[in-house]
Amino acid sequence: MDFFTLVQVLDSTLRLATPLLLACLAGLYSERAGIFDIGLEGKMLIAAFFSAGVAYTTGNVWVGMCAGIGASLVLSVIHGFASITFRGNQLISGVAINFLASGITVLVAQSWFSQGGRTPSLTGAGRFEPIVLPGALTRIRDIADANPFMQIYSELLSGHTIIVYIALLFVPLTWWLLFRTRFGLRLRAVGENPAAVDTAGISVVSLRYSAVIICGVLCGIAGAYLATGLQAGFVKEMTAGRGYIALAALIFAKWRPWSALGACLLFGFLQAVAVRFQNIRIGEFTIPVQFMEALPYILTVVILAGFIGKAIPPKAGGEPYVKER
């Protein structure tokens, strides 16, 4: 593998890791507040559909993204009502959201566009276009002939949609918000000891709803990026388990923002390698392409099985809070 091929693989890694990173940070806020959310998949899926559908109808990708965020927020509020207000089982609520999103997207898409549960292809202002940084090369042949620094600048750093850069900015923003602000301290405390927070006169319900809403916004952006940035339209089940991979990355990162970035880049790298190298030969043996495509999911199982160290979730995670009278 030459240097330019490596840069191209890393470029694909960044693109493929973006929806995982946004969903992982969404789960980070929710679970740090004590609300387990395995409904990330469903929120991303419904956001992907409504962002693509509205972007195609209006011809404006930003309106589409707002519609996707709104759809994700609706499911987040439903999960909040079930988990916080009615103190229901958080895992069951998350599973129900995934099933609900899976059915609604196909049903509404077929009714809206009559294309077998998908939306028409997006073009022009209906999707996010790459941003070319100043001085960056745009032709592949020119980039391949350039020096390594220009290859990194033109191929790896330049040419991404605005959502990719926003996702990367969310990492230090999340770290600062959770570990350097009063809101973050209270949010983390709710996930560890909600009774102590309540004793201090701070509303546990409000903090948990705030975390759930932030989760919905980030999942909405992730879904919108899938349908209007990474691809050019919505297709059935296009999230393809990314919500579950994001949860595995969150556990791998042990609920820390910077570690979440590294974990998502690792998953994105495995996906990029699977796409780039269809048949890898080791001596006389050829690794099947199906194995390469399954690598991110295999790693997910390995992480969830506990082989990558012990990850201790927030102590009050998954437990509804009942205020003492």
pLDDT at 304 over 80: no
Q: What is the pTM of this model?
A: 0.93
Could you give the CA distance from residue 187 to residue 32 in angstroms, rounded to a whole number?
7
User: Are the C-beta atoms of 100 and 42 separated by less than 8 Å?
Assistant: yes
pLDDT at 233 over 80: yes
Q: Per the structure block, which two tokens stand in for 24?
A: 């992982």
State the average pLDDT over residues 15-30: 95
State the average pLDDT over residues 243-259: 90
Q: Which of 251, 219, 306, 298 lies closest to 39 in space, CA to CA?
A: 219
pLDDT at 283 over 80: no
Could you give the CA distance from residue 18 to residue 20 in angstroms, rounded to a whole number?
5
Q: Which of 230, 239, 250 lies closest to 46 in space, CA to CA?
A: 239
Domains of the chain: residue spans and CATH: 3-127+147-304 (1.10.3470)
Could you give the CA distance from residue 274 to residue 76 in angstroms, rounded to a whole number?
33
Positive or negative: CA dihedral 139, 140, 145, 149: positive
Give the list of residues 6+ apart from residue 321 with CB closer than 8 angstroms, or none.
34, 84, 87, 194, 195, 198, 204, 205, 208
Could you give the CA distance from residue 81 to residue 209 in angstroms, rounded to a whole number?
9
